[in-house]
Amino acid sequence: MGWPLVKSLLWSLLLFVQIHEHRACIEEERMGLLELKAFLKSHTNYTKPLLPTWVYETKGGCCSWEWVNCSTNTGHVINLTLSNINSYIKNKQHYYMRGTWFFNVSLLQPFKELRILDLSSNGIASWLGNEELVYLSNLEVLNLRYCGLNGSLPFKDMANFSNLEILDLSGNDFTGSITPYIGALSSLKAISLSENRLNGTLNTPEFCALKKLEEIDLAGNGFEGMLPPCLKNLTSLSYLDISDNQFNGNLSSSPIASLTSLEYIDLSYNLFEGLFSFSLLANHSKLKVIQLFNDNKKLDIETENQSWDPLFQLKVLVLSNCNLNRLAGNFHKFLLDQHELEVVDISHSKLNGSFPIWLLENNTGLQRLNLRSNSFSGEFHLPSDHYMNLRWLDLSDNHFDGKLQEDIGKRIPKIEYLNLSQNQFEGNLPSSIGDMSNLWVLDLSSNNFSGEVPMELVANCTSLDILKLSNNSFQGEIFSKHFNLSLDSLELQNNNFIGTLPVVPLEVGEVLNISNNHMTGTIPLWIVNRSTSPGVAVDLSSNSFEGQIPCGLSSSDVINLSHNLFSGLLPSCLNLQDVGHLLLQGNKLTGSLPKAILNSSSLVTLDIRDNRFIGSIPDEIDGLPNLKVLSLSGNHFSGVISKQLCRLKRIGIMDLSNNSFSGTIPYCFNNITFGKLASSDFVYTNAVGFEIGGFSLPYKSVLDTTLAIQGTDILFLEQVEIDFVMKYRSDLYKGLILDMVSALDLSFNNLTGEIPLTLGQLSSICAMNLSYNQLTGPIPISFSNLTQLESLDLSHNNLSGEIPSVLTDLTFLGAFNVNHNNLSGKIPYIKQLSTFEKSSYEGNPFLLWSTTGEKLHRHR
């Protein structure tokens, strides 16, 4: 090749590059982008350098800038991706926006060939409804997901968007219904309106006329009514998600049977009812994903039909809580025809039979199997092959029994989540569990396992976050030198473990529960000096730990050291600022209450019953403004009851019984709520947790959303239990019941004086016990206002006068005792008071049995 020819080619190449560079950036659009950058910089709270490549002098022009794409033919900007500029975040309860972005849409006017605009995950307070939207008429893709937009849907403002193919308005705060203006979007192929506050029906003809629609996502709204018949016009529809709405009616009469192009369908969490037979899907040869989580108990699913064989091969089948195959109790035939399944969830579906080994044998790609809460029984045996794909297995709450296979860990070596809880498994754990090196969660609780925990489990399963072995018959020392786990939760309660807690710190982030075992020794320093943030609970109760309680015991919201052998004084250096519940019942603790406890503003529960504390209640008790349960029973407290207790207005249960308190009952107790709280004030139903085991679905949506099956909520419950006597019976109260119950127990003290009339203002109280004191005077007539009262014990005092007849209207009263007082007159033995035995009234020499006029003491 001669030099002239080479020179000519070089000049041609240079000319091409110059032309390409010119086309790579239109000057008007370059200036438009810089003006847009200036606007964003002044109107957002972007914390990092904003669009650092957007500089006028950039070599190669604006088409080389980040988040900008240009046409290779014309050089015009065709794609702007400006997501997450203004740090907008949305979760299930709240919207969070940093700053307010009133977006000036006229800034997009220079980009006349713009095809794709992505402003997702920004805090846009206002954008739509401007006349300048005409400049966006060439848009094909518009993404405004998670932008904080509200008001009605903006279809009216999109009248010129006839080229729009993909529209994502999900995760905003739009209200109202789908309006006829949507008909202008005639080219629409995919639309997502999920996670808004939309309502109304889908009976909009213009919506059903969008015949090019391939994907519809309406999940997480308030749509209602039946699915309209006109949906059958959407013959290209491959993706339909209407989950988490209020659609109703019978699916058998819905247009689902006509949508034969469907590949993905999610009907979960609606109000469908009646029978839905899978035979209606006989012509759906493309189906890959079926999801139907149900929670209204009125939907029956029937898969077993001798008249059809499915044309489809599913990858995902979720039919949870659906009254599945009510007559057959299984769906052996339907699943036998499926060979490509990766996810199967048939939990809570009233199925029975043995473990479906054939399901794993036929679907070697199965990754997730959930049989939770059914009635499967018999032994759980895996096939002999190694199932390398199985990651998630939940067999909990069934009736499986027998021993686990010795080589179970070798058969499912890649398992990450294994839940066998609430069955009847027995015997020793096989050592091959140690081969499950990928395990995140292992839950074997509430079975009949016995023997020692294999060394291989605590030494080799180092990926474990959650280990639950509670409610079995395990024994031996679990905290051996081989223990090598770093956990979020370790639950060992209700077994027969022995030994001491290790001196070397355990890495347990949220829950450490070893209650009701046979552990001994003292509390090691690592429990009180954990470097991590405060966890949820440390429960060492019902063991034989001893010694003094150390300083710094502030590492968790719940600290339960009850029913051990701890002794001595509570240290004055206690720091309980992060502690919500302190339970020290049933030890040998002495001394007075240290002021360190009384400065714990976060404390909700203080239970120090059945110890050897002395002294009076300090006035500093009012430093516990959030206290809901105060239990000082069974100690040696004395002196008058401090009026500062009246400042603890959130108290629901106050138990000062079995002490030596004297003086009168404070008249100001009516300032305490004793149960008169809104549900927002409930604290014993709280739980901290996270979802684990979520699974990305094997399906690609053009909406480019992350499709996933929900995982399992791992909840770290604040399991605070309070033992309280009501209706002559000692019961444990926890959770919602503990939030709702309210009681005052001052029994077995030396209290004198009259019962304050103000106690009759405690209209929400459930139980009141003032027995075994030296109270005098009448029973207050104001007690007629205690309309929620279930138990009232005034026995063994010196009360006088008549029993107020108004007490007969206390319709919830189930326990009533006024015996051994000085009451007189006739017993109003009618209505509710007629339900109690004479023993409730005896020991009052001048009290007359109302039916005969005889004195009660003659009938003893």
Average pLDDT over residues 260-276: 92
Query: What per-residue confidence (pLDDT) applies to 832?
Result: 87
Query: What per-residue confidence (pLDDT) applies to 700?
Result: 67
Mean pLDDT is lowest, of 650-654, 668-672, 707-711, 721-725, for: 707-711
Region label for 107, one of left (φ > 0), alpha (ψ between -120 and 50) or beta (otherwise): alpha
Residue labelled with tokens 């016009």: 233
Q: Which of the pair, 626 or 728, is modelled with greater confidence?
A: 626
Quick check: 507 pLDDT over 90? no
Under a CB-based contact definition with an 8 Å cutoff, are residues 478 and 502 in contact?
Answer: no
What is the pLDDT confidence band of residue 88, given thresholds at 50, 70 and 90? very low
Quick check: 212 pLDDT over 90? yes
Query: What per-residue confidence (pLDDT) applies to 528?
Result: 64
Separation in Å, CA 859 to CA 490, 616, 644, 825 = 59, 43, 45, 16
Q: How far is CA 604 from the centre of its chain?
A: 21
Quick check: 210 pLDDT over 70? yes
pLDDT digits (tens, 9 = 90+) for 817-832: 999 999 999 999 888 8
The C-alpha atoms of residue 723 and residue 615 are separated, in whole angstroms, by 23
pLDDT digits (tens, 9 = 90+) for 570-610: 887 777 778 889 999 999 999 998 877 888 888 999 999 99
Quick check: 804 pLDDT over 90? yes
Residues linked to residue 716 through DSSP beta bridges, in sequence order: 688
Query: What per-residue confidence (pLDDT) applies to 849?
Result: 75
pLDDT digits (tens, 9 = 90+) for 448-477: 999 999 999 999 999 999 999 999 999 999
The C-alpha atoms of residue 489 and residue 690 are separated, in whole angstroms, by 12
Average pLDDT over residues 208-234: 94
Q: Which of the pair, 85 or 652, is modelled with greater confidence?
A: 652
Average pLDDT over residues 301-315: 83
Quick check: 701 pLDDT over 80? no
Query: How many residues belong to the chain?
Result: 860
Which of 573, 584, 631, 621 lies closest to 601, judged by CA? 621
User: What percent of the chain stands above pLDDT 70?
Assistant: 85
564 secondary structure, DSSP code: S
Mean pLDDT is lowest, of 100-109, 228-237, 369-378, for: 100-109
Which range, 219-233, 499-513, 688-702, has the best average confidence (pLDDT)?
Answer: 219-233
The C-alpha atoms of residue 146 and residue 168 are separated, in whole angstroms, by 9
pLDDT digits (tens, 9 = 90+) for 419-430: 999 999 999 999
Quick check: 146 pLDDT over 70? yes
pLDDT digits (tens, 9 = 90+) for 47-64: 667 888 888 776 668 888
Quick check: 661 pLDDT over 80? yes
Query: What per-residue confidence (pLDDT) applies to 404?
Result: 96
Alpha helices in 315-428 (DSSP H): 332-336, 357-362, 408-411
Quick check: 746 pLDDT over 60? yes
Residue labelled with tokens 């684990």: 692
Quick check: 637 pLDDT over 80? yes
What is the pLDDT confidence band of residue 374, given thresholds at 50, 70 and 90? very high
Query: What per-residue confidence (pLDDT) applies to 706?
Result: 55
Quick check: 505 pLDDT over 80? no
User: What percent of the chain stands above pLDDT 90?
Assistant: 55
H-run or E-run covering 20 = helix 3-24
The mean predicted confidence, pLDDT, of the chain is 85
Query: What per-residue confidence (pLDDT) applies to 759?
Result: 96
Under a CB-based contact definition with an 8 Å cutoff, are residues 840 and 817 in contact?
Answer: yes
Average pLDDT over residues 236-243: 94
Query: What per-residue confidence (pLDDT) applies to 516?
Result: 96
What is the pLDDT confidence band of residue 680, given thresholds at 50, 70 and 90? low
56 secondary structure, DSSP code: T
Tokens of 129: 């409804």
Tokens of 366: 């199965």
Average pLDDT over residues 145-174: 89
Query: What per-residue confidence (pLDDT) applies to 209?
Result: 93
The C-alpha atoms of residue 550 and residue 521 are separated, in whole angstroms, by 13
Residue labelled with tokens 């015997």: 427
Beta strands, E only, 188-342: 190-192, 197-200, 215-217, 222-225, 239-241, 246-249, 264-266, 271-272, 274-277, 289-293, 299-302, 316-320
Query: What per-residue confidence (pLDDT) applies to 571?
Result: 84
Which of 451, 446, 501, 488 lies closest to 469, judged by CA? 446
The C-alpha atoms of residue 713 and residue 693 are separated, in whole angstroms, by 9
What is the pLDDT confidence band of residue 481, given thresholds at 50, 70 and 90? confident
pLDDT digits (tens, 9 = 90+) for 380-412: 999 887 777 899 999 999 999 999 999 999 999
Quick check: 782 pLDDT over 70? yes
Query: What per-residue confidence (pLDDT) applies to 385?
Result: 74
Residue 572: Cβ within 10 Å count = 11
Query: What per-residue confidence (pLDDT) applies to 6?
Result: 40
What is the pLDDT confidence band of residue 18, given thresholds at 50, 70 and 90? very low
The C-alpha atoms of residue 426 and residue 422 are separated, in whole angstroms, by 12
Query: What per-residue confidence (pLDDT) applies to 847?
Result: 92
The C-alpha atoms of residue 491 and residue 445 are separated, in whole angstroms, by 9
What is the pLDDT confidence band of residue 350, given thresholds at 50, 70 and 90? confident
Buried b (16+ CB within 10 A) or exposed e, 421-455: bbbebeeebbebbbbbeebbbbbbbbbebeeebbb
